[in-house]
Structure 1
Amino acid sequence: MAGDSKTEKATPKRRQDERKKGNVLISKDVITVISLVGTFFALKLMFPQIIANVKDFLYKAFGYAQTKSDITEDFVMVITKETMLAFLQIVAPIVCISILLSILATVAQTKPLFVADSLKPKFNRINPLQGIKRLFSLKSLFDVIKGIIKITILIVILYSFISDSLLTITRTTQMDLSPSCSVLMDLTMALVFKICLAFVAISVCDFFFQWWEYERQIKMSKQELKEEYKQMEGDPQIKSKIKDVQRKMAMSRMMQAVPKADVVIKNPTHYAVALKYDIEKDGAPTLLAKGQDEVALRIIKMAEENNIYVLENKPLARAIYATTDINQEIPADFYGTVAEILVYVYKLKNKKLI
């Protein structure tokens, strides 16, 4: 159906939901290239130290071997220990750098993310129909083409490198260890640099394709947008019930404040406002309650039951009702009229206004 076609961009909520499921934009080629480039540049920087470690190991091994005429258990243990130590000194920093770069490249794309659901077995992955569908998907086709391009570029670069450097590589057999290693390292880094440039270009293309594919996957239909809107805004009937409950609670609190009023002004049954003036706390009389028609009658009735003076003043009641909210002070325009009323009420109660 037309309404089910996914033509709309994903909303922030949809993106957040997909992220919670572990479905985020990520390009594995970007991770591979960053790790590869960083590792080989670290290898180039650390190459002098690596050569020094190799020399040190060989000097120790051959020097120890010259002092031994027989291969004993102690000799084997020492050689094994020195070999493992040299291996750790040479390989461990490179491995750690590679792992760190892979982690940083992943976090840079996905941001810190841990999804427990990804650890759960998903049996739909072993569904043959789903497997066939994934096999003939656009993503699979892109991966196949990308793989062919990678292999082709790699073969071309290797062939060109060997053709240009074969004579130089042959000459290294006549050099000492240190200069030959330096020449081979330079040649290797030149080769790696060319491969990295090609793979960087491929990884950029892969990133944009993954971005396009990710945006396409999380697109929403118009019906999904409507459902999400309902979830976020709430069902209209439920919202109406909530508003009714809130209105009743507010009404209840307002009616409970009426007995605290000093005077109720009415018009005569259509409007009613309850005012209170606390000389020590308030800068002006405050509106405790207001109502129209039935609510006005309830306010008047409660005022009479609690011996609150009820005064009829049609213009004033209607004006205060229209301009003042609950628990707010009345506008300055009404100070004079209300003050006269309060003076009269206070005289009746033998209270002082000031």
Structure 2
Amino acid sequence: MAEEFQERTEQATPKRREDVRKKGKIAKSYEFNSAIVILVSILVLYFGGSHGYQKISNLTRFVFSNLHLIEISKDNVQKYVTFFFSFFSLNFLPFLIFLMAIGVGANIIQSGYIFTLEPLKFNFDRLNPINGIKRILFSRRSLFELGKGFLKIGVIGLTSYFVLRGVIDDVIVLMDSDVNKIFNLMSSLAFSLLLKTGMLYFLLAIFDLAFQRWEYERELRMTRQEIKEEMKELEGDPLVKLRIRRRQREIVKMRMMQNVPKADVVITNPTHIAIGLKYEPEKMNAPKVVAKGMNLIAEKIKEIAKRHGIPIVEDKPLAQALYKLVEIDEEIPPQLYKAVAKVLAYVFNLKKKNFKSVV
């Protein structure tokens, strides 16, 4: 019960985002889709409308020129219907398919490809009239949609007013013009009105898309308790645990290899085990293991040691004891002090001799 009163202040986790997306809940603006389709339709009509107009004009001219030859009867009605259906399908169906593709593309641009049947599942809460009234009257989204509806009406109305006011004198003169001039002016006027309205509608759609995404992120927020429960659930997954342990081992291995150049000596088995030891009397109570490994890791440790001039000492019993008893970054136990001291004394004496010979 306490969880119900917690504020949703935390950003959604990747798992929650994935779960919500699988249910078909995404941030999407229908206004954005409509605006894209409208603008593309206007541009297609502007650049290809003359072709469609010519087709319809030729058909109209043919029909009216042959009215005296057309007979409507039971035998030829199907023939005429088939003819007109084929005509409009061949000339305008590609345009409609193209617009459908644009609409699908606008959806993919917003939220990527997603296919789920989850929204089609029966949900009794949707039939609850109280919940429906709350969504309609008291939700932030419904108020926004109401304001957006008034804004769309205002945009279309004001745009139409200013466009028509600028050409009212030209329209009045059309009373004495021929049909072609009337058609050309009205076409130009319609395109100008549609284009300006479409551009303003597109700006409104951008604003709506921003709001939908903000509202979506807000609804995705989680309480701290939900995050804790999700973390427990994830940590309980054996595969997740395995990946975490594997990653931890990789990090430890990487850090260990970086510490090998800092070692004073590497003690080997000689081929199966390698132990890197470091001792700073001023800072440490006892020598510390900075790296250890078997087989391939041991070979890598010895390779790095050779590259940095670190002495490599073969001592099978000591190497095995250090590998079993001491973890990385731990000091050696008292029972190994004597054996390790002999090795370090040998290494330090070797370094002094090398230093004197160089000098």
TM-score (normalizing by structure 2): 0.64
Aligned to 1:152, the other structure's residue is in SS state helix
Instruction: Give the drift of 1:195.
Output: 1.1
Structure 2 equivalent of residue 20 of structure 1:
22
Structure 2 equivalent of residue 325 of structure 1:
293
Assess if the C-alpha contact under 8 Å between 1:43 and 1:94 holds in 2.
Answer: no
| CA distance in 1 between partners of 2:316 and 2:237 (Å) | 45
Instruction: Give the drift of 1:35.
Output: 0.8
Structure 1 equivalent of residue 128 of structure 2:
127
Q: Does residue 8 of structure 1 match 2:10?
A: yes
Aligned to 2:118, the other structure's residue is in SS state helix
TM-score (normalizing by structure 1): 0.65
Aligned to 1:56, the other structure's residue is in SS state helix
Deviations 1:240-270 (A, max 9, x none): 9x99xxxxxxxxxxxxxxxxxxxxxxxxxxx
Assess if the C-alpha contact under 8 Å between 1:39 and 1:98 holds in 2.
Answer: yes
C-alpha distance 121-170 of structure 1, shift in aligned 2 (>3 A): farther
Return 5+ residue gaps in structure 2 as ranges.
246-267, 275-286, 303-310, 318-359
Deviations 1:253-293 (A, max 9, x none): xxxxxxxxxxxxxxxxxxxxx96xxxxxxxx53259xxxxx
| CA distance in 2 between partners of 1:107 and 1:127 (Å) | 32
Q: Which amino acid aligns with 1:103?
A: V
Query: Moved runs in structure 1, 4+ residues, more than 6 A?
Result: none
Aligned to 1:325, the other structure's residue is in SS state strand
Instruction: Give the drift of 1:325.
Output: 2.7
Q: Which amino acid aligns with 1:127?
A: N
Assess if the C-alpha contact under 8 Å between 2:273 and 2:295 holds in 1.
Answer: yes
Aligned to 1:26, the other structure's residue is in SS state coil
Q: Which amino acid aligns with 2:156?
A: L
Question: 1:1-354 alignment to 2 at 5 Å?
Answer: 1=2, 4-67=6-69, 71-72=72-73, 76-135=77-136, 136-169=138-171, 171-172=173-174, 175-234=177-236, 285-287=271-273, 324-328=292-296, 329=298, 333-335=312-314
The number of residues matched between the two structures is 268
C-alpha distance 95-35 of structure 1, shift in aligned 2 (>3 A): same
Instruction: Give the drift of 1:56.
Output: 1.8
| CA distance in 1 between partners of 2:291 and 2:11 (Å) | 45
Q: Which amino acid aligns with 2:86?
A: L
| CA distance in 1 between partners of 2:291 and 2:40 (Å) | 70
Assess if the C-alpha contact under 8 Å between 2:46 and 2:191 holds in 1.
Answer: yes
Aligned to 1:101, the other structure's residue is in SS state helix
Return 5+ residue gaps in structure 1 as ranges.
244-273, 276-283, 289-318, 340-354
Instruction: Give the drift of 1:14.
Output: 1.5
Deviations 1:9-37 (A, max 9, x none): 11222111111111111011101111111
Aligned to 2:293, the other structure's residue is in SS state coil
- Identity within the alignment, %: 26
Shifted more, 159-168 versus 216-225: the winner is: 159-168
Aligned to 1:334, the other structure's residue is in SS state strand
Deviations 1:285-333 (A, max 9, x none): 3259xxxxxxxxxxxxxxxxxxxxxxxxxxxxxx9x9964344557572
Aligned to 1:121, the other structure's residue is in SS state coil
Assess if the C-alpha contact under 8 Å between 2:24 and 2:119 holds in 1.
Answer: yes
Assess if the C-alpha contact under 8 Å between 1:57 and 1:83 holds in 2.
Answer: no
Aligned to 2:197, the other structure's residue is in SS state helix
| CA distance in 2 between partners of 1:97 and 1:43 (Å) | 12
Assess if the C-alpha contact under 8 Å between 2:271 and 2:295 holds in 1.
Answer: no
